[in-house]
Amino acid sequence: MGGEGTKVFTLTEVSQHSKSKDCWLIIDGKVYDVTKFMDDHPGGDEVLLTSTGKDATDDFEDVGHSSSARAMLDEYYIGEIDLSTIPARTQYTPPKQPQNNQDKSSGFIVKLLKFLVPLLILGVAIGIRFHFHNKSA
């Protein structure tokens, strides 16, 4: 595979085959026409359809396919992907977090309220009790 006479496809070409009656996948730089396998795929055809139009290697590997499933790929092999047509993987960069010391006063106020509000409720309850206790005496 990959020698002379091997068909080389662009991502655009492969992306045009993204329906249940015409489905191609890219796995490890190889292009597979899995249309005939759609009805037999244990995970259903929807799983395969969500992997079209991109490099599906990670999707394939994440599932943990058996060696027999990997061997089945040979049956559906139709060519290679032109790697220059696949966008480079972008590394996830988390958004910058604001500095923790932006407004310490609001944190202090919240802690103070967590302490004072229960005390205030307790004080009101005690006041009401004494008020009604003194009236009945």
The CATH label, of 3.40.50.450, 3.40.1390.20, 3.10.120.10, 1.20.950.20, for the domain at 8-85 is: 3.10.120.10
Tens-level pLDDT at each residue, the chain (137 residues):
445 688 999 999 999 999 999 999 999 999 999 999 999 998 889 999 999 999 999 999 998 888 998 999 999 999 999 999 988 776 667 777 666 555 566 778 888 888 899 899 999 989 888 888 776 66
**Domain edges within the chain:** 8-85, 103-137
Reduced to 3 states, what is the DSSP secondary structure of residue 81?
strand
Output the pLDDT for position 63: 87
pLDDT of amino acid 92: 67
Q: Is 119 helix (H, G, I), strand (E, B) or coil?
A: helix
